[in-house]
A and B are shown apart, each in its own frame.
Chain A
Amino acid sequence: MSRSTSTRRAPILAIYATVVFAFIYLPIVVLILYSFNRDGVGGFPPSHLTLDWYRQLFTDGPIWDSVLNSLLVASGAVALSLTVGLLAALALDRASFPGKALFRRLVLLPLILPGIITGLSLLMFVVLSGAQLSLFTVFLGHGTALISVATTELFAGLQKSDRAQEEASLDLGATPWQTFWRITLPNLRLALVAAGLLIFTLSMDEIAVTFFLIGRDNTLPLEIWGRLRRGITPEINAVSTLVFAVSVVLIIVWYRIRMRSVGTEAQQLPERP
């Protein structure tokens, strides 16, 4: 028997993997480094490290307004997509109805299609319905597009949970309603928290769909986007650094919880919208 293949050394491959990691992380490291650079976003080497850009950022009203808007939209999107996504996951897991296969594909479509198509379709819908573009339309867009993520994540959670408990509850005389609140939902607790965190992060960062549904009030990514056209300063690096840090923390927490709720199958992640 040969040695276990996962421990064999492969120096050239290891170097190649290091280079790929460098490619993935170098831009982010550079971005963070230059958020402390007094003399602007370019040039080499960075000199005169300073916290001035962060000071400027903390007194920048429009940025914090947009952060608040993003938080509102993301919280709403989490609530909406988890509610519809939970029902959709239950339906896919337990019910059979005409067009089920089509429904499954349709729900997942926003994950796979370019954001511009989902964004423009929803824009046409909003215009047709006579509504004004606003944070509400952005919330509607995020919530609807992210049902895809909620459904895949919660479906995985349902497949993992123990159906026998529900059967026992129903056999022992609990109503389906009681069974749902006392068995189904508590069993899905971790999956719900994990999906919620992921959806929150994705909504906070979303730009392609938002681009077409935004009204007068900007979300944070759209505010940053607007500033990129007016000449850039390390203040953008500073806000990007904070966005990055918050996202990383949320994603790590999400991953840990997900490992506990769906185990090693956590490695089969849903695709990013």
Chain B
Amino acid sequence: MYSRAYKTLVSAPPLIWVALFLLLPYGLMFAHSFWTVQDGVLVHDWNLSNYQKLLTNSLYAEVLFRTMRIAASVMLCSLLLGYPLAYYLSFHSGARKELLYQLVIVPLWVSYLVRGYAWKTILGSEGILNGFLQYFHFTHEPVSFLLYSPFAVVLMLTHIYTPFVFLPIYASLEHIPRPLVEASEDLGASPASTFFRVILPLSMPGLLAGATFAFVLSLGDFLAPLLVGGSSGTMIANIVQTLFGATYDWPLGAAISVSILLITLTLLFLTERLEKRWSFE
């Protein structure tokens, strides 16, 4: 029903915009990763030396490994907090469902920085938690391992991504036809067996989506390590940020970014495939 002119008119501007301001910049990032810097000057000489450096220098592998460990911990913790919460809301919260749902999604959209800062004031050696512990005589010396550690990064990111993980899980739990659950119960399955054999498998797409978000977004985070991570909590994106700043080696930084990008896209692709396999529609 829409004319050819109409279709062209609505598609051309966004296509051009996205090509110019998204595709081209991402392409530039890709191109940079094959270039090099010599004496502070960018050399447009195509080779794989940056990627070689990443594979041979153990520092990068070490930080990448730590980053993946942190991201995996965040994923696991947010699932452990987010799944039961979603399950409770979807199946047992009764009339308060809508209110509780809003209570979860409000912090989801509220300032990353504000929430990160809150953790910084809580965990510091002169922070609120230490003040609390000493006030009630749990300890006499300030506990100093809390802030500036991988633990603090996991804690802060879990706090930020739990509502994120909650959302897709909740959506998929809400989509489970209730008669299926009732049938399972009427036919004599125990609550545990109903959960593990009916509800959990049917909520798998949401669980996978949530897990992927938490992992992928943690993987590329550089602000949490700067805020609460200290030197022992440095992650791969912090190395990129240093390479683009003080060190001035954009090509190497670009090569790491491209690697993060590839890991991210591979994971998203795999999840999408898995989600399709698990979805019941």
Nearest residue (CB) in B for A114 is B220
**Count of interface residues, chain B, beta-carbon cutoff 8 Å:** 101
Complex: chain A residue closest to B182, CB-CB: A2
A202 near B11 with CB under 8 A, answer: no
Contact B1 A240 (CB under 8 A): no
B101 and A267 contact, CB distance less than 8 A: yes
A71 in the interface, Cβ–Cβ < 8 Å?
no
Binary contact track A54-76/B, C-beta < 8 Å → 1, others 0: 00000000000000000000000
Q: Closest CB-CB distance, A243 to chain B, in whole Å? A: 6
Q: A217 at interface (Cβ–Cβ under 8 A)? A: no
Could you tell me the distance between the alpha carbons of A133 and B25 in the complex, rounded to whole angstroms?
A: 15
Within 8 A of B (CB), among A231-273: 232, 236-237, 240, 243-244, 247-248, 251-252, 255, 267-269, 271-272
- Known A-B contacts A17-B89, A34-B121; the reply to A120 vs B10 at CB < 8 A is no
Tell me which residues across on chain B come within 8 A of A10, comparing CB atoms: 88, 91-92
A13-B87, A116-B257, A244-B114 as given contacts; A84 in contact with B109, CB under 8 Å: no
Report Cα–Cα, A28/B223, bound state, in Å: 18
Residues in B neighbouring A7, C-beta threshold 8 A = 92, 94
Please state if A116 and B107 are interface contacts (CB–CB under 8 Å). Answer: no
Q: A7-B94, A272-B108 are in contact. Are A107 and B14 (CB under 8 A)?
A: yes
Mark each residue of chain B from 1 to 15: 1 if its CB lies under 8 Å from any CB of chain A, else 0: 111011110110111
Q: How far is the CB of A267 from chain B (nearest CB, A)?
A: 6
CA distance A252 to B128 in the complex (A): 30
Say yes or no for B65: interface residue by CB 8 A criterion: no
CA–CA, A208 to B122, complex, Å? Answer: 23
Is the contact region of chain B dominated by helix, strand, or loop, or is it mixed?
helix
For A97, list chain B residues within 8 Å (CB). Answer: 7, 11, 15
Residues 141 to 155 of chain A near chain B (Cβ within 8 Å): 144, 147
Is B131 a contact of A269 with CB atoms below 8 Å? no
Complex Cα–Cα for A44 and B117 (A): 18
Interface string of A123-153 (1 = CB under 8 A from B): 1110010000000000010001001000000
User: Which of B118, B119, B120, B220 has the most chain A CB atoms closer than 10 A to its own CB?
Assistant: B118
Cross-chain contact A123 with B244 (CB below 8 angstroms) = yes
* Cα of A14 to Cα of B91 in the assembled complex, Å: 11
Contact string against B for A residues 83-124, beta-carbon threshold 8 Å, 1 for contact and 0 otherwise:
011011011001111000001001101101111111011111
- Is B55 in the interface zone, CB < 8 Å from A? no
Q: Flag whether A8 is at the interface (Cβ < 8 A).
A: yes
Residue from B17, B113, B128 in contact with A207 in the complex, judged by beta carbons closer than 8 Å: B113
Please, how many angstroms separate the alpha-carbon atoms of A13 and B87 in the complex?
Answer: 9
A88 to B29, CA, bound (A): 24
B36 at the interface (CB under 8 A from A): no
Return the contact of B131 from the options A43, A221, A224, A272 (Cβ within 8 A). A43
| B221 CB → nearest A CB, Å | 7
CA distance A43 to B128 in the complex (A): 5
Write 23 A-B pairs (CB below 8 A) sorted by A numbering.
Answer: A21-B85, A43-B128, A44-B135, A90-B10, A91-B11, A94-B7, A94-B10, A103-B15, A116-B257, A117-B220, A120-B244, A120-B257, A122-B25, A123-B244, A125-B24, A144-B17, A176-B5, A198-B109, A212-B244, A232-B117, A248-B110, A252-B106, A255-B102
List 12 extra interface pairs beyond A91-B7, A244-B114, CB under 8 A.
A9-B92, A17-B89, A20-B84, A24-B104, A25-B107, A44-B131, A90-B10, A91-B11, A113-B264, A117-B29, A124-B254, A267-B101
